[in-house]
Chain A
Amino acid sequence: MPKPCEPASWPVWPELPVATSAPLVSERLCGDLQQPISALAWSADGEFLAIASAGGELLLLDFLAGCEELLRGDRDSSLDVVGFSSDGQFLMAAGQDGELLLWELGGTGVRPLAMDPIPLGGGWIDAAAWQPGGLLLAVATGRELRLWDGASRQWRQPPLELPGTIQALAWSADGVQLAASCHGELVLWQPCLSTPADPPLRNPMASAGLALAFSGPGHHLACGMLDRSLLVWPQGCHGQPWQFSGFPAKVRQLAWSEQPGRLAPLLASAAAEAVILWTQVKQGSKAWQPEPLVWHEKRVNALAFAPGSTLLASASSDGSVALWDGKGRMLQPLEGQGCGFNALAWRPDGRHLAAGDANGRWWLWPVAVPPRERQRQRAGAGFRSRA
């Protein structure tokens, strides 16, 4: 059974008084892989951090045991997606080889057991995600959306066919809905409920959806588009989406805050170097107010809200990670070693931020979240509190 979400191997950080001048980050941990870091993922209990590289390395850090294990070495073939099942039983990784790699985890201090790689034959895999609160793993292989069931250790049949190569996929926070996008279509699927009478919902789109994200509270769906626009479906994904256009570039990164807002929670988008924080201020057509976050000089490659908070981290090719409050004020820039940052992942405790850079270095910063950015109440904190 997964452990409750509590920092076990880390000292409890003192609660800082509200003072934006005080540094949030006091010390850091880092290490190096041979190739650029491509993906990072924490286990739900925050005890494991998996780090993948563009050379196919996969490093597993076990914080409770205080050890690390290189599950795969550099093999000149990229891994691009990595993730833990929500119960912590499995670790998956996939990439250039088109194979699904799975490990069974036996808990802290226990060596992960590698399962046989599963060739999927759909080319380079860069989108895969575990079901929150469940054991289904969604994998995009070319134009097919496939589901591996960790309970039966079998593939569910048949896969869902899309009209184009799948660009992005996302689970809703309750693990019920699965969204996938390609050029021309967004599919909403409820794989655990679907019967022939209940087919996946296919929404035609004018362009390609490159990024998908469900909000925890409110169950909104946002889709970042190649045609420099952003679509946001209202609560429950029913009805017509809001469309935001005029972005300087394709909208490639999205993140929702887990903290409930007065209406929708906060949404962050990134297009080229431009990060925008979106607040829903009313119902109706002109419902959303944008707040540009001006700092990055090059493309923003990752966005992540601290769990349960409105504290936002953005990572850029300009070699910095920036921390922002829920009003769009810059709290602190974190500098790396001069090369661009590719990936970000908050530890589920919301107090540690992991990042990976283009030189293969991973970073781990302790972050003291200012009290006002913390969740107002613990209830309704999304899937993590339910795990």
Chain B
Amino acid sequence: MAFSSPVPAAERLPVTVLTGYLGAGKTTLLNRILTHEHGLKVAVIVNEFGEVGIDNQLVVDADEEIFEMNNGCICCTVRGDLIRIIGNLMKRRDRFDHLVIETTGLADPAPVIQTFFVDEDLRDELRLDAVVTLVDLKHVELHWDTEEVQEQLAFADVLVLNKADLVSDADRDAIERRVRAINPMARLLTSRNADVPIQELLGVGAFELERALSLDPDFLVGEHAHEHDDAVGSLALVEERPMDLEKLGRWLSDLVAERGPDLFRMKGIIQLQGEARRYVFQSVHMLLDGDFDRSWKVAEPRRTEFVIIGRDLDAEALRASFLACVA
């Protein structure tokens, strides 16, 4: 299933999904977004147990109700009340420029993300800008092995390492390395008291295909030590030889059919045989999206870069099947 919309991105309202474990600083960050002068009128959807202490007509509650559709297919699992509330809110679209959705600390980000691609109204009226995950540098190691923390790290486009003032530089570096092993594509920010420049969070365009991949250059160098196999981890695949689109397409659709629930996000820039343009690709669980992008520039290295973030990844098998797609 492709997840692009026929409606041009510029006509759709940008949406930021804000995740983070309990106590990571989401409420502080939301209050900053709502009160700071940044020229954007932001509407916020909070969960009913939220604590945004601001009386603002653009802060709206939604039930975190999950709709499982198509017999529980994970890619069709969406947040039902979000559809209703956003439908109501969109009648007031001229009152705001950006929508932020806060999830509870224990929520899986995937259904929220998928809602924007699966629901016909939301897909055509909004565009997912980025998933922003707040990480509590002081306490994250206590909850590191919880499914929620791992998923929130894995799905992020922007990772805000918060409470930097409460840990030593060495501790912060260690956590940063662990975070990077799970998610090598997210942009990393460090903050105290959730004080981050708003322009680094809103208007990121992380789900725009042409910005599909911005890998940490260090990540591509050398192998990555996986923690243990059933944990959430990532794999970067780099190949200098051009690939075959047909083989690649078949591999990817087989892969998501078999492993979709364990594949959180994939992104790639593909060099294709006999093609002057880049092919760009991304996925969320079983939702796949790919298209031709601009031509390769003369100065840039022509090569395929592909990142998989998921649970229980078999690096050797994945690398072998990826290499089988070389033209």
Residue ranges of A at the interface with B (Cβ–Cβ < 8 Å): 35-36, 38, 54-55, 75-78, 80, 95-96, 123-124, 126, 142-143, 164-165, 167, 183, 207-208, 226-227, 249-250, 272, 299, 342, 358
In the complex, A75 Cα to B60 Cα: how many Å?
Answer: 15
Of all chain B residues, the one with the shortest Cβ separation from A143 is: B63
Q: Which residues of A contact B88 (CB under 8 A)?
A: 78, 80, 95-96, 124, 126
B92 and A36 within 8 A (CB): yes
Q: Which residues of B contact A207 (CB under 8 A)?
A: 67, 69
Q: Which residues of B contact A226 (CB under 8 A)?
A: 67, 69, 80
Does any Cβ of A come within 8 Å of B241's Cβ? no
Interface size of B by CB at 8 A reads 21
Given A123-B48, A124-B60: A250 in contact with B84 (beta carbons within 8 A):
no
In the complex, A55 Cα to B92 Cα: how many Å?
Answer: 7
B57 and A77 within 8 A (CB): yes
A-B contact count (CB 8 A): 61
B91 and A249 within 8 A (CB): no
Does any Cβ of A come within 8 Å of B314's Cβ? no
CB of A38 to closest CB in B, whole Å:
6
B57, B61, B80, B92: the one contacting A123 at CB < 8 Å is B61
CB of A62 to closest CB in B, whole Å:
26
In the complex, A165 Cα to B78 Cα: how many Å?
Answer: 14
B120 and A78 within 8 A (CB): no
Of all chain A residues, the one with the shortest Cβ separation from B56 is: A76
A-B contacts besides A38-B91, A95-B88, A227-B69, 14 pairs, CB < 8 Å? A35-B92, A36-B92, A54-B91, A77-B57, A78-B88, A96-B88, A123-B48, A124-B84, A143-B63, A208-B67, A226-B69, A250-B120, A272-B120, A299-B121
Q: Which residues of B contact A227 (CB under 8 A)?
A: 69-70
Most buried by A among B63, B81, B84, B91: B91
27 A-B pairs (CB sep. < 8 Å): A36-B91, A36-B92, A55-B92, A75-B57, A78-B88, A80-B88, A96-B60, A96-B88, A123-B61, A123-B85, A124-B60, A124-B61, A124-B88, A143-B63, A164-B65, A165-B63, A165-B81, A165-B84, A167-B84, A183-B65, A183-B67, A183-B80, A207-B67, A226-B67, A227-B70, A249-B120, A272-B120
Q: Which residues of A contact B60 (CB under 8 A)?
A: 96, 123-124
In the complex, A55 Cα to B61 Cα: how many Å?
Answer: 17
Does any Cβ of A come within 8 Å of B319's Cβ? no
Most buried by B among A80, A95, A165, A227: A165
Q: Which residues of B contact A249 (CB under 8 A)?
A: 120
Q: Which of B189-205 contact A (CB under 8 A)?
A: none
Given A143-B63, A226-B67: A165 in contact with B80 (beta carbons within 8 A):
yes
In the complex, A76 Cα to B60 Cα: how many Å?
Answer: 12
CB of A196 to closest CB in B, whole Å:
29
A342 and B91 within 8 A (CB): yes
Given A54-B92, A76-B57, A249-B120: A123 in contact with B62 (beta carbons within 8 A):
yes
Given A123-B48, A164-B80: A96 in contact with B63 (beta carbons within 8 A):
no
In the complex, A54 Cα to B89 Cα: how many Å?
Answer: 8
In the complex, A55 Cα to B58 Cα: how many Å?
Answer: 12
Of all chain A residues, the one with the shortest Cβ separation from B91 is: A54
Q: Which are the 9 A-B pairs with shortest beta-carbon distances?
A: A54-B91, A76-B57, A123-B61, A54-B92, A77-B57, A165-B81, A183-B67, A249-B120, A165-B63
Does any Cβ of A come within 8 Å of B95's Cβ? yes
Q: Which residues of A contact B63 (CB under 8 A)?
A: 123, 142-143, 165
B92 and A78 within 8 A (CB): yes
In the complex, A164 Cα to B81 Cα: how many Å?
Answer: 9
Given A142-B63, A165-B63: A358 in contact with B85 (beta carbons within 8 A):
no
